[in-house]
Structure 1
């Protein structure tokens, strides 16, 4: 089977379900059509939003430039860091601004941009098992938040801290790397195979990284989804401030487009490389102190809608701009299953290897285990969850 490379930058844009005809490039001040061609990009505006052309052009420029950078970076990587050699690259870039969320996908045959109104997700900072269970039942967008962390009274000078007790609101294991100012946290994740996921619930089984800080909790994960095109691990990023609204990025939520994001994801049993930034900056593109997750690995399809079902290398970047997270407690790595503590069952596992912080190898510490076995060796850790 021919392999393709998919680079998916997830800052809140997604792929389409159909391939509608696009209007000619518009020269008016605003765009309201559902589909329009602009700067050789197919813009998809399903909700007929009134989009300013000049601003939209800048968004397109940003997305195209980021995709180009990713293409060049991947081409320059050593063979040991690639799944395949000499393959086309597909880029997905998901991001947002103050008003809209964008999903840009660039394949070897097309360039598409989906635009939706920006949504805000409210997170209860008192992460009790009951609130987690109810939230997971109500909204799969927010079910990616870490189920095991409970806010406890502050005794360390931080506004909040995480209880290092067995997982609450689910089962799993957590290892951490202490840091107050670190920025780039990298590792490789061996994703659980189908055989290793016996009983694991869809949209409630997670492997992830993130951070705990005095300002916010960040969960950057891949979640198991078993519907539609088959088992796969889908990227998601949630930034949860200590107060007010938070943001979860994963895919388009337009009417009729919900199933697009569920179509693609990483192949169970494969290894993905991850890079997680506390504060990503690119002044030339207006990116400042952004929380960013980049994952690279083999996906089940070559595009978000799975119209091309060839296995594909996927680089997925999720980014939430202007977060300004400064003083931290730690970075984290987890494997978890969310649900009612009394009734939840299932299996999941992951080996996290080549763990580094700002390029320096780090040995994680066992922070919490609930129906989990944690083995640490140098800058690697294996978490096996079973109940």
Structure 2
């Protein structure tokens, strides 16, 4: 067993693997999987010079995500990635009011409890007819325009954008504005100044919207929180939900469709069996794992021993989720897309512990109805370009494709 003192001189820290093998757009970076096979908790050199840790093992990840000795607060840790901590108030201070994604309990608990009441399973199910209507409207428009089409712009992006707009009470007429700002925020090739400007633009827009909701409440999530939160809290909550609520689902719809088109036997099985859709959604989330750069990261609040290694107080830990969700100690034949996989739902694509994704049930509904309706409406759907020409979002915080040209 290796010495468990994390500062031992023999440790040569790795750098975060990002680039994937050409021709393997759905597989994690090979180096990430090598780390999991040889040392699932390994030293990692971050861009600012800080040396922390990379987790690539499934059980280790669950342990850290549920351990209160680790914090998500960015003011208590080094930034995991350049400008990944862009948020209201800057990148080094404590989280702004309402910015619950970067809070620990009990502050996080207060916001989470309020928001959980707005994201109940019952409420999400009541939304299903409207979600189905939105999906079929987009497919109608796609069919009317005729082939070829960019599935991202024609379907994958508009669907979750329309859904989150309805949920929050954001006018969809402004979707081009907030989608443009979001792309700048999540693209790692954006400078910190560009990302902060986009965030401030979006915050200003939502601040005005919150003021209108307070003056004239409607039947939406923001209006439902007016009595419990002030304008700054509501604005920042809306920021988190608006960005996360359409960016992630949009990329799962597009990248999942790309993966299905590249796995014709699995696609045929899904077309033939409607009951397979729920497990197919879980398996696609496991297999693709679009939160591919470690998420917000954690830092040790004090010295913590995990997996035989000592993580020192203040050291940053990030999760290599694409490798974690393909850990052979948890999933049999993890590199194989198998839409009937019975344990696919154990993936960590939605996280784990108190910060597990708030909108996961909404995302599942959108994906389940979206994939099924798309495949039924276009039974001859296929790529309109060679697969190697599909541009990948390797530089974005959320993995996926920039465009997906399809025809039918």
Do Structure 1 and Structure 2 share a fold, with TM-score over 0.5? Answer: no
Greater Rg by CA: 2
Structure whose residues are more often helix by fraction: 2
TM-score (norm 1): 0.28
Structure whose residues are more often strand by fraction: 1
TM-score (norm 2): 0.27
